[in-house]
Amino acid sequence: MTTLKILLMTALIVVNMAIFNGNLKFNSNSMVANKVESATEEPTATVIPTATAAYHVEHVIQQRFEKRSDNVRKICNARGNKAASVTKPSELFDVPSIGLLWCPTFKAGSSNWLDLFCKANFNHKIYEDCDISTMRANNPTTRYLSVPADEFKYNKVMKEELGLPFMTVRNPVTRFLSAYRDKWEMARSPSFYKKRYGEEIVRQYRSVDPSFSEEDKEALLAEAGTVILNRQLGSLRHEDVARNPYLNPPGPTFKEFVKWALNGGMDPHIMPYYQSCAPCSIDYNILRLEKLNEESGYLFSVIERSYLNLDFRMSLNVHGKTDDCLLEYFRTISKHDVQLLYNMFFKVDCELYSYPCKDSISKGRQFLARMGKLFIVHPNGSHIYCCKECKTPIAAKKDLLDRCKTLVDGQGFLFSAGYNVKESHVSERIMGAAEEDTNIVRYLSCLKCKAYMGWRYEYCENKEHRYREGQYLLFPGNLCPGK
C-alpha cells in the first residue's frame, strides 16, 4: 500500500470520528456512557485533523486490536483453551462482496452490521425486508455458515476462502440490561411477550395474591396477553390495569427476568459472546461497540473498503445513563443473585474482552447509596428551571431542544437532560387519535418533593417524533426560574 493511500484512508477515518464526536455533543447521556465504558486502560486516540495525526489514529486502533487479541489468547491459554468450553461458533456470515466474516453478537450493534451487509448485497427493493432470517435463508451473496455439530476448526483453507473474521462486543453487564429493557421490559415489541418467553416468565415468577385460584390466574394471564398483543394498554383505565397483577407492570420485571435466566432461561440477546463465537478457535478482530464508529472505519481501511460507513449511533435504550440504569435495575435483585448472574453470564466475557464488569455493578450500588441521601445535582449554566414546589433544579436552558405541543397536555419543553428527577416504570401513553401517536414514556417527578414534572420518551411510534426518544418533556407550569 502506498503512503498516499494510507493517508487518504486514514483521513476518512478522521472524518468519521469527527462526526461521531459531533453526535456526542448533542447527547449528554452518551457522554456519560462513554466515560463509564472507557474505564479500562486502552490506547486512546486524540483527533487532530491532519494527515499525520490520522496515521497516528490508525496506528493506535491497530494496537488496540492487537492488545485485545493477545488478551483473548492469554485467557484461552490460561483456561486450557476452555474459556469457551465451546469450540464452535453457532453461526457465521461470510460476506465476500465486502471481504468480512462476521460472527453476530446480538444487542452489540448487530442490526447496524446487518444493514450494511444488506445494502452491500441487495438491490433496494429486497433491502426493504432484509433481516437476519433473510440473510440466513435465501441470500444470494452472503454465505451463511450454519456450523455443524462437530468441532469447528478454523483451518488454513477456510482462512484463505473466507473474509477477515470480526466480532463486536460491548460491556456484558450493560448489554444484558439493555437486552432486558429493549426486548422484555414491558413487552415493547409485543411478539416478545409470547415468542420470547415474556408470558412464561411472568407466569412462573410473578408473585400474586394467594387468594387467586389457578383458574383466576390463567384468566388474568390470558387477559393480559390479549391487551399486550393488541397494544390496548394505553386505552385502559388505571383501575383495570391495577386489578390485573399481570398487567402491572405488563412485561417481566428485571427481578423476574433474572430469576428466569438463572434457572436456565437463554436467548441470543443475552447469550455470552464466548458461547456463540468460539473466540478460542477463531482469531477475530474485536471491535468495541463503545468505539464502533472509529473502529469500524479502521476495519474498512484494512479490507481496503474505506468508502463503507457503518453510521452507528447509540440507539435509545443503550442511551447513556448506564450508571443510573444499573442502579435502578440491579438494586431490585439480591446480592446473591448478582453474584450468580456474574458467574453465569458475565465472568468469562469480562475476562476475555477486558471489561470492568464488577466495577459497573458496584458503581451502580454506590450511586444507589448516594441517592439514598438525596443527592441533589446542580446543572451548569446561568438559566436554570426549578421545581415550582420546592425549588430543586430540574433543567437547564442550555439543554433545551424544542417546544412541543401535545394534544392533551398543552405545550411542553423538550430537554436533552433532566436533573434531580425520579423516573417511573415505563408506561404507554397515547397522544392523539391515531395508533401512530402511541408513545412509551417514563413519568418524571421531582426527586425531593415528588411533584409531577412530565415524562421522558422511551419510544415514539410516529417516525417524525423519534428524535424525542430519550429526551425529557417538562411542563413549564410545573417549573419556575431559578439559579
Residues that bind Zn ion (CB under 5 A): 387, 389-390, 392, 446, 448-449, 451
Query: Quick one: 387 or 396, whose CB is closer to Zn ion?
Result: 387
Query: Quick one: 255 or 448, whose CB is closer to Zn ion?
Result: 448
Give me the DSSP letters along 299-342.
HHHHTT-TT--------GGG-S-HHHHHHHHHTTS-HHHHHHHI
Query: Quick one: 16 or 392, whose CB is closer to Zn ion?
Result: 392
C-beta of residue 248 within 8 angstroms of C-beta of residue 209:
no
Give me the DSSP letters along 53-72.
HHHHHHHHHHHHHHHHHHHH
CA dist 275 → 89, 113, 132, 145, 293 (Å): 7, 20, 19, 16, 26
Q: Give the strand order in the sheet containing 438-446.
A: 400-406, 410-415, 472-474, 452-460, 438-446, 421-430
Report the half-sphere exposure of 110 (CA within 13 A, side-chain side): 18
Helix then strand then coil, in percent of the chain rounded to 5, is 50, 15, 35
C-beta of residue 51 within 8 angstroms of C-beta of residue 10:
yes
Query: Quick one: 344 or 480, whose CB is closer to Zn ion?
Result: 480
Q: How far is the CB of 443 from Zn ion (least distance, A)?
A: 14
Q: How far is the CB of 19 from Zn ion (least distance, A)?
A: 39
Query: Quick one: 8 or 480, whose CB is closer to Zn ion?
Result: 480
Q: Give the strand order in the sheet containing 164-169.
A: 143-146, 91-95, 100-102, 164-169, 285-288
Q: How far is the CB of 475 from Zn ion (least distance, A)?
A: 13
Q: How far is the CB of 440 from Zn ion (least distance, A)?
A: 25
Q: How far is the CB of 454 from Zn ion (least distance, A)?
A: 13
Identify the DSSP state of 346.
Answer: I
Q: How far is the CB of 433 from Zn ion (least distance, A)?
A: 34
Q: How far is the CB of 393 from Zn ion (least distance, A)?
A: 10
Query: Quick one: 444 or 446, whose CB is closer to Zn ion?
Result: 446
CA dist 165 and 159 (Å) reads 9
Q: How far is the CB of 451 from Zn ion (least distance, A)?
A: 5
Instruction: Give the residue among 182, 181, 217 at the shortest CA–CA distance from 202.
Output: 217
Q: How many CB atoms lie within 10 A of CB 266?
A: 14
Retrieve residue 142's grid coordinates: 452472503
Query: Quick one: 302 or 479, whose CB is closer to Zn ion?
Result: 479
Query: Quick one: 426 or 446, whose CB is closer to Zn ion?
Result: 446
